[in-house]
Structure 1
Amino acid sequence: MAAVVLVGALLVGCGSGPAAEQASAPTAEAVTPAVGKVLPTAWERLAASADRLDPAQGYPRSVEGGASTWTTKPVDDWTSGFFPGQLWLAHTLTKDPAWVARAQRWTAPIAGQVTRTDTHDLGFVVGDSFGEQQQQTGQGAQEVVTAARSLATRYSPAVKAIKSWDTDGDDDKRGSWRFPVIIDTMMNLPLLDQAAALPGGDPAWRDLATQHARTASTTNMRPDGSVAHVAVFDPDTGAFVKRDTWQGADPESTWSRGQGWAIHGFAEQARVSGDPELRAAAVKAADWWLAHTAPGARVPSWDFSKPGEERDTSAAAVAAAGLMDLGRQTGDARYRQAAVETLDELATRDVAPSGPALLAHAVGGKPQDSEVDVGMVYADYYFLEAVARAS
């Protein structure tokens, strides 16, 4: 492993899961010199954006190549929680109290999202903002519980999963998917786990989250460990209908960020639940990833069936955070090593030379869509989360 640099006290499970699942922070953590070198740049850019921008005017989402400011989205966008989440991670990593005030300023407006029942993305939105606030300060429990209650309304006992998208009447391919479950929803389950342990929460929410993960592990995941973006169900009978795709090149391909969601999400739920089936699912997803990346090339193309096309730093950052978690759970050094190699590659090759985002070369959608080869708020978020988990 590369030489190391100490970057400060880190929180083991940062950014995910209930506070009861967090281990106490070690006094220091080792990361590669390249990662240590870019962290001051991360803090400088993050602080400048937090202080200059106004959450009432929108939340940072993406940065086109060469742009000097973020493209923002309204607070109801699925990505709104990542920017306050980065601010909470900055506090975790630096212990500088100035980050708390910034994080609280950007977290507070998200309170209006907690009663939404029209989206599965409440974990991304509320978990990464109020969830982190609750873990770090004790404040925000009511928002976390309310959001979890809202998310739980989307669970179907027949399907044994949370409905990801409301598609009825959509005038596109998704309109035929009566009950779609996308792999991304795995990342929203920690909100349920966290809320289940809080005053006013329902302990059954943790069982609901675990059951959703079990369903996804046999429907979204293929036998070889690769992952399909969408699993489609009959909402009346609960029967699994087919695998399909929205992101990704085609139904049989493997969208790289989706594979990252699977590693991260199954590892997370395995840690919370202790379910050996979910740990096995995380291992399958991770082993597939390791078999299709290599040292020096840990950042994959946006879809594994499209080698040589646009690399996706967001997929790599998500996977690195999940691999760190899985390595700790299993004691298998391969996972941590791959995560460290990924962080080192990102820090060496993919830091944006200027602008407000830390990482460049993320892919938000398909190459024919927008947000290709850009800075993305969630790429930066998961990069910092992976650093925080490197303990």
Structure 2
Amino acid sequence: MKEGRFIFASLLVTCFLAAFVPDSLIKTAFNQAEQQTKLMLNELAAAKAADSKVALVSPRTLNEAGALQLVPARDWTSGFFPGELWYLYEYTGRGAWADQARRFTANLEREKLNTGTHDMGFKLYCSYGNGYRLTGDKAYQEIIVQGARSLIKRFKPTAGIIRSWDHHKEVWQCPVIIDNMMNLELLFAATRLTGDSTFYKIAVTHAKTTIQNHYRPDHSSYHVVDYDTLTGKVLKKNTHQGFSDESAWARGQAWGLYGYTMCYRETNDPQFLKQAEAIARYMLNHPHMPADLVPYYDFDAPNIPNEPRDVSAAAIMASALYELSTYSSSSQYRARADQVIRSLVQQYRSPVGQHHGFLLLHSTGSKTSEIDVPLIYADYYFLEALLRSKKLNEKKPLF
């Protein structure tokens, strides 16, 4: 009997260790990412030459015809490709990648003064934030801080939130989307860089208000919450990209998981760790989560299993779980993140030389557009997750 228990325990240990992403897989993934990104750079040059009317700076996806779709600096996705280039530099140490990262990052400087969007973190922290972290360039510091100053102009003190969208004013008075949790990282960075706690306090206020109003008792999140800015009252709760107002849009759940894990890192407030772990349990234990941990675009989509997957949600979730694993006594978070990465590498990666240089396939932007396509932010968080896995393998801190 004792021998049987020993054999069973040994099998458990073997399975647990086997779940880790080995350095050889990370190396292969980055080697292929380099090849794909070189292709992307060539494709970008050709696409810009074909359409010189608008200052297009970054790739976003492929259109219905399979052609590369580029976006201007004002687009919320414009910072992910520069960030991807910084991650290639971080992994390889090759100056050529740093040169390309600087080149594409510089295209976004004008956004530091843009007060018409909440997406400053996506645009400026993924690009300039990574650049500053890796190079210490003081010019990047100034842009990060100015971007944060622009972002906090959208703060509504009575409601305790940062306004998200300015569009669809006939639908919402002051909409806040769960995605906005990701942009708080820029504010925390601004306080670190300046010593001014204003940014920090606004970020914490927004995060706490979002826990109160975005989350249901089962710890799933609404996509959009609309506020009355004069009273702070919640006017409505609905969706814009998920299946329905009461459904759980998969990427929205991933944004929340990542956002609250990051908030705990920046504040050490146990409320944020508790929230992150509750979201993780909701996602990982959901009966509609597929075995490969790459979710359908919405956990409540009506035709599961015949619904589109969202690889971007999986990549964001994996990166967040790696960080969460460093704050929790539970070993499941790292093991599940490793499982996601293995799935992405083995089943969802673009073959080298195809898809205009995107790294991953089968993402979904929303229920009505960008369905089953590559998306640049899926690639960004995939590389981030790989780097985090590598650091954990080496027993190095993530930050």
TM-score, normalised by the number of residues in structure 1: 0.87
In structure 2, the gaps of 5 or more residues are 1-15, 49-54, 393-399
Which protein, 1 or 2, shows the higher relative CO under an 8 Å CA cutoff with sep ≥ 6? 1
1:298 aligns with 2:293: yes
**3-state SS of 1:381 partner:** helix
SS at 2:222's partner residue? Answer: coil
Alpha-carbon offset, residue 33 of structure 1: 5.3
Name the SS for the 2:372 alignment partner: strand
Give, in whole Å, the separation in 2 of the partners of 1:262 and 1:78.
Answer: 17
Cα distance in 1 for partners of 2:382, 2:164 equals 25
**What does residue 42 of structure 1 align with?**
33
1:138-157 map, 5 Å: 138-139=136-137, 140-157=140-157
After superposition, residues 224-235 of structure 1 pair within 5 angstroms as 224-235=218-229
Partner of 1:99: 97
Within 5 Å, give how 1:308-347 maps onto structure 2: 308=305, 309-347=307-345
* Contact kept? 2:19, 2:335, Cα under 8 Å: no
Deviations 1:244-290 (A, max 9, x none): 11110111100000000010001001110111111111111111011
Q: What letter corresponds to residue 359 of structure 1 in structure 2?
A: L
Aligned to 1:359: 360
| Cα distance in 2, alignment partners of residues 224 and 3 from structure 1 | 32
SS of the aligned residue for 1:106 comes to helix
1:51 Cα deviation from its structure 2 partner: 5.4
> RMSD of the TM alignment (CA)?
2.0
Which of residues 266, 281, 286 in structure 2 aligns to 1:287?
A: 281
* Equivalent residue, structure 1, for 2:13: none
CA shift, 1:31, in A, is 3.6
CA contact (8 A) 1:50 1:102 kept: no
Question: Mean alpha-carbon deviation: is it higher for 208-217 or for 143-152?
Answer: 208-217
Structure 2 SS opposite 1:73: strand
The aligned amino acid for 1:53 is: L
Given that residues 82 and 378 in structure 1 are in contact (C-alpha distance below 8 angstroms), is that contact kept between their aligned partners in structure 2? yes
| TM-score, length basis structure 2 | 0.85
Give 1:175's aligned residue: 170
Look up the match of 1:25. none
Of 171, 187, 192, the match for 1:192: 187
Q: Deviations over 1:80-111 (max 9, x none)?
A: 00000001111122222221101000000100
Gaps of 5+ in 1: 6-29
Query: Contact (CA 8 Å) 1:88, 1:99: kept in 2 or not?
Result: yes
Residue 66 of structure 1 and its aligned partner are, at CA, apart by 8.7
Q: Contact 1:32/1:344 (CA < 8 Å) preserved in 2?
A: no
Contact 2:289–2:295 at 8 Å: present in 1 too? Answer: no
Q: What is the letter of the counterpart of residue 372 of structure 2?
A: D
* Deviation of 1:37 (Å): 3.0
Calculate percent identity across the aligned residue pairs: 37
- More helix by proportion, 1 or 2? 2
Instruction: Give aligned pairs, total.
Output: 358
Matching residue's letter, 1:41: Q
Q: Distance in 1 between matches of 2:65 and 2:316?
A: 24
> Which of these two proteins has the greater Rg computed from alpha carbons?
2
